[in-house]
Structure 1
Amino acid sequence: MSGRVEYEPASVKALLAEMKDTAELLIDLSYSAVLHGSDDVAQEVLALEERMDVLQMRARMSVMLAARNPEEVESLAPVLGITGAAEKVSDAAGDIAKVVLEDIGLPEAIRAALPEAVETLVRAELAADSAYAGRTFADVNLETETGVRVIAVRRGGDWLLNPDRETAFEAGDVLLLRGPEETIGDVVEAATGEPYAPPAPAEPDITDLERAVDSLVLMKNMSELAVDLAYGSVLFDSAEIAEEVVELEAEVDALKSRFEAWTLRAAADVPDPVRLRGLMHLATATEVISDAALEISEGVLRGLDTHVVVQEAVEESDEVIVRQTVEADSALDGATLGERAVKTETGMRVIAVRRPDTDDEWVVQPGPDTDLRAGDVLLAKGTRAGAERLDALASA
């Protein structure tokens, strides 16, 4: 912890949007640090965690200053809950990073399972002689050409969490890249001038340990979904989506109990049971993330109107959450998510589908076989460009 934080005039909306982006980036980075066994990525997590502490304090100051009467106090109370939840996610990510930095111990089985659950995310420092140096993102056109996206840039002590088309690559930039395994290696080599070595997969050979790891990976996926749905419940002021967050948080708690049982049974069969400590740390941190999701949606669950500043912050964050209605005779009407390859074609991940014609039933975690029909409302997450492509598919 370093430096005194003093009040500075700042937009609560901008602070909340940056906290949301930072929290989501931290989740990705922390698990990527585990997957790659990377101290460098873990150090980036701790640097971002410190930044989150400052953002959280500044957001609290701004919210306190904005509340001038009891009505405003009531409407702003959930905002404080959301800032606290984002910081809780940040702390959990820091704990995951410390599993790597402090070599607490992790079985190779976890790295065998994580590639299925973690999108490839790589840290790359831009070399002075890189073909990208001095060019803008628009000029390089990286995402269109390779499918690899720069999700954040650290330049000196500053972070650019929303790099746009006008952002220029500069020598020494630390790039956080996300994309398909088959192309991200080429991008890393072009940026750094050094060969990319993906993590070598390991094969788990202890049944109880494999079950424990599978439970942990499922906890991770459900916790991340809970966070996405929690922000969706806030954005659309939906008690139905918030109730799904409650169910997911309870399921993560139950999974953690099963995880602990499998881990304790596995301890009798592994050569060094102490190496299982890291798994326990990961499970605890992952459960904290699901608890934070519940805090984000708490205002909605308690019937408090979502403050407009929160809705605008979610809409203006880096990875947006959108609500898209399927129109009659559109490309999605009568098709499944898999048939239209929605994620591949748009880059958007559909996290829930509402069926207005069946008492507003919600389908959470829809898969490739989920069929869509006119009137369905899709809740999806991704980039603004992806949201435009999804809109084109859903419109007649």
Structure 2
Amino acid sequence: MNPEDVEYEPVSVKAVLAEMKDTAELLIDLSFSAVLNGSDDIAREVLELEERMDVLQLQGRMSLLMAARTPEDAEQLAPVLGVVSAAEKISNAAGDIAKVVIEDIGLPDAMRSALPEATEMLVRATVDDSSAYAGRSLAEINMETEMGVRVIAIRRRSATGKRRWITNPHHETTIEGGDILLLRGPQSGIQTVFEAVSGAPFELPETHDSPIEDLERAVDSIILMKDMSELAVDLAYGSVLFDSEDVAEEVSELEAEVDALKSRFEAWVLRAAERVEDPVQLRGLFHIASATEVISDAALEISEGVLRGIDAHPVVAAAVEESDEIIVRFRVGPDSSLANTTLGDRMVKTETGMRVIAVRRADGSEWVVQPGPTTALRPEDVLIAKGTRAGAERLGELLDDPQQFED
């Protein structure tokens, strides 16, 4: 894409920031999934989305420049420009990860076979015009409940040929013939849905024997990189939304952890290179490690203003609130059905669709980042969670805190 291809048009900065947030988060997910599944199709979708992000960042910059009429305006809007820049860096890093697959820079062929059995698949499917799903809403199809498969994004082409992305589609979203769906779920469900969507047989990716004894360790590290970079970005936007220095500090801690993980991962790659015939086949792993560090650094940039005590421009918080996948904060009510249970006891993610990304203990002594099924919830604990608006309402009801609160 050339900058000349994007003309100025009066767009809402809030809308651009919201779409940039959703796009950046989706890019991280897709790029790592392309690597782990060895999928050229998913990698190409990353590059399509990266082009969209290029357009968004130019629109955002132009709108901000048009809005800054005085030195005071410029001072207020400068941090917003920083958020735009950080999202662009995340996009570029995701594109670099995708190019490792497309350009065959160097990855072990056995990556897919080294994935843990419970890992979900992510595939791309084009909706056939004669598909039983065409013209129906996701609520009518109900594939997530029946087969455990969810549509994480849709790429649609209008009658004029213009491409449009629908990130985090909701239950009322209707599927149309010609749509490209990005599907995530277990292999059995993916196979059924893929064939119903496309009318073509589903072919499993090839598996290969690994020449590296502990390739599973590398795969586990890549999964951890993905999880940590996604979490850092989620918490960064959460720190801005809630103007929370504590949450911003967690982003800083995560950035340091990613740096340490990168160093350990690179050391493993160098040792593994001694045990393979052609060490060049591992070159792509260094690219992935470097791109992950860029993502975590960009997350820290998003929260940097909060760490420095600079008031975020209201448009950034408003954009986070209005994005497709929202971040909310709730307090565990003393009479809540979740008080004195664990996240797994009540199957919070299954019941509400919300992913709890952090828990702050009631006495303020501890943050639990990346909580799991065994994480206990105590009265007055604070939860930061991510998901849909409908899911947030259900979670608020379970926590006996129907209103997202403000400190």
Give the conservation status (yes or no) of the 8 Å contact 1:113–1:217: no
Judging changes above 3 Å, is the alpha-carbon distance between structure 1 residues 249 and 117 closer, same or farther for their aligned structure 2 residues? farther
SS in 2 for 1:375: coil
220 and 109 in structure 1: CA distance in 2 versus 1, 3 angstrom threshold: farther
Which residue number corresponds to residue 57 of structure 1? 58
Would the alpha carbon gap of residues 163 and 14 (structure 1) be closer, same or farther in structure 2, given more than 3 Å must change?
A: same
Once the two structures are TM-superposed, the CA of residue 182 in structure 1 deviates from its matched residue by 3.9
Q: Deviations over 1:45-92 (max 9, x none)?
A: 111101100100100111122223344333322211111111111111
Find out whether 1:23 has 2:24 as its counterpart: yes
2:288 is matched with 282
Comparing 64-73 with 188-197, greater Cα deviation is found at 64-73
Specify the alignment match of 2:239 in structure 1. Answer: 233
Tell me: CA distance 1:220–1:137, structure 2 relative to 1, closer, same or farther (3 Å).
Answer: closer
Go from structure 1 to structure 2 and tell me whether the alpha carbon gap of 1:303 and 1:198 turns closer, same or farther (over 3 Å shift). farther
TM-score (norm 1): 0.93
Give the match for residue 80 of structure 1.
81
User: 3-state DSSP class of the match of 1:245?
Assistant: helix
1:285 counterpart letter in structure 2 = A
Conserved 8 A contact 1:21-1:318: yes
Contact 1:149 1:177 in 2 (8 A): yes
> Separation in 1 of the partners of 2:303 and 2:226?
19
Quickly say closer, same or farther: Cα 1:262–1:312, change in 2 above 3 A. Answer: same
Matches within 5 A, 1:64-213: 64-114=65-115, 119-156=120-157, 157-161=163-167, 163-199=169-205, 204=210, 206-207=212-213, 209-213=215-219
Report the counterpart of residue 261 of structure 2 in structure 1: 255
Alignment of 1:211-360 (within 5 A): 211-357=217-363, 359=364
Residue type matched to 1:377 in 2?
A: V
Q: Shift of residue 210 of structure 1? A: 4.5
Residue in 2 that maps onto 1:362: 367
Q: Answer whether contact 1:121 1:179 (CA < 8 A) is retained.
A: yes
Q: Deviations over 1:258-298 (max 9, x none)?
A: 11111111111112111001111111111111111111111
Q: CA deviation at 1:113?
A: 4.8
Q: Which runs of 5+ in 1 are unaligned?
A: none
Give the number of equivalent residue pairs: 395
1:109, distance to aligned residue in structure 2 (A) = 4.8
Task: State the alpha-carbon separation in 1 of the partners of residues 84 and 232 from structure 2.
Answer: 16
Measured against aligned partners, the alpha-carbon deviations of 1:91-114 in whole angstroms (never above 9, x if no partner) come to: 111111111111112114533455
Contact 1:137–1:165 at 8 Å: present in 2 too?
Answer: yes
Structure 1 residues 367, 161: CA separation in 2 closer, same or farther (over 3 Å shift)?
closer
**Displacement of 1:168:** 2.8
Q: Residues 343 and 311 (structure 1 numbering): CA distance in 2 closer, same or farther, change over 3 Å? A: same
Question: How does the TM-score come out when normalised to structure 2?
Answer: 0.90
Q: Aligned letter for 2:19? A: E
Structure 1 pair 216/144, CA: closer, same or farther in 2 (3 Å)? Answer: closer
Contact 1:35–1:115 (8 Å) recurs in 2: no
Alignment equivalent of 1:387, drawn from 387, 392, 398: 392
- C-alpha separation between the residues in 1 aligned to 2:353 and 2:121? 15
